[in-house]
Amino acid sequence: MEIKVLKNVMIKNSAIGNDNRERLLKHGVFAINITSSPGAGKTTLLENSLAELNKVHPCAVIEGDLYTSRDAIRLKDKCVPLVQINTEGGCHLDARMVSSALDNLDLEKIKLLIIENVGNLVCPSSFDLGENLRVLVYSITEGADKPMKYANMFKSAHVVLINKVDLAIACNVDIDSLEAEVKEVNQSCKVFRIAANRPESLIEWNEWLLDYVKKFRKGRD
């Protein structure tokens, strides 16, 4: 009974996720879903890259959070449309929530939609939101042993941003070992090393993303 209901929930979510993707595609919007543990640096990443991204492809942000609007407030001076979703204790965003958020955005005016998921290294992996690219921000403060332990999240990511690399020595984490394990779990994912609070460390990732979005848009035209 429980399993059957769970299966139904997942099937429904996938269908709505696909609808979201088609709807976004019609408007030429590329969507990324950013996942991570709590405090791994998703919002700091946006604080320090949104202006650069927005110069090339007009952006909008959907902020997922259990209760507060704190992350949205941190981004409010970035001059991009922003919709807050509060899950009221829920452990992940789902496709239906994102669909409602899309109703509140003028999709004709944006080219890159960035969805910041709830901080959780387990549940969000199972929920397709309609994104084109899933980006996992992983903080090295969580240790080098997590890719195998939280394998679903690492497997489902197209890109892994290894964050807070400046704390590697203090946290006694060997970044090469960590990256090797990421690759062991998910051979095809792209990996960047960043310190999200240092904008200069984000240049390579920003350029890769902008180029990826450009190719997507070319493929569409």
Site for its own copies (CB under 8 A): which residue of 31, 119, 189, 192? 119
Its sign, for the CA torsion 110, 116, 117, 118, is negative
Tally Cβ neighbours within 10 Å of residue 9.
13
Write the interaction track for its own copies spanning residues 96-115; mark x where CB under 8 A is met and - where it is not: --------------------
Question: What is the Cα–Cα distance from 126 to 148, expressed in whole angstroms?
Answer: 17
Using the rule CB under 8 A, give the single segment among 19-27, 103-111, 137-145, 205-213 that binds its own copies. 137-145
Site for its own copies (CB under 8 A): which residue of 15, 79, 148, 203? 148
Rg (CA), the chain: 17
Q: Which is nearer to its own copies, 89 or 219 (CB)?
A: 89
Which residue's entry shows tokens 């990996």?
Answer: 191
Question: What is the Cα–Cα distance from 64 to 112, expressed in whole angstroms?
Answer: 17
The least CB distance from residue 61 to its own copies, in Å, is 17
Residue (of 79, 86, 30) closest to 50 by Cα position: 79
Q: Is 15 near its own copies (CB under 8 A)?
A: no
- Which residues contact its own copies (rule: CB under 8 A)? 1-2, 5, 8-9, 37-40, 65-68, 70, 89-91, 118-123, 139, 141-143, 145-146, 148-152, 164, 166-167, 170-171
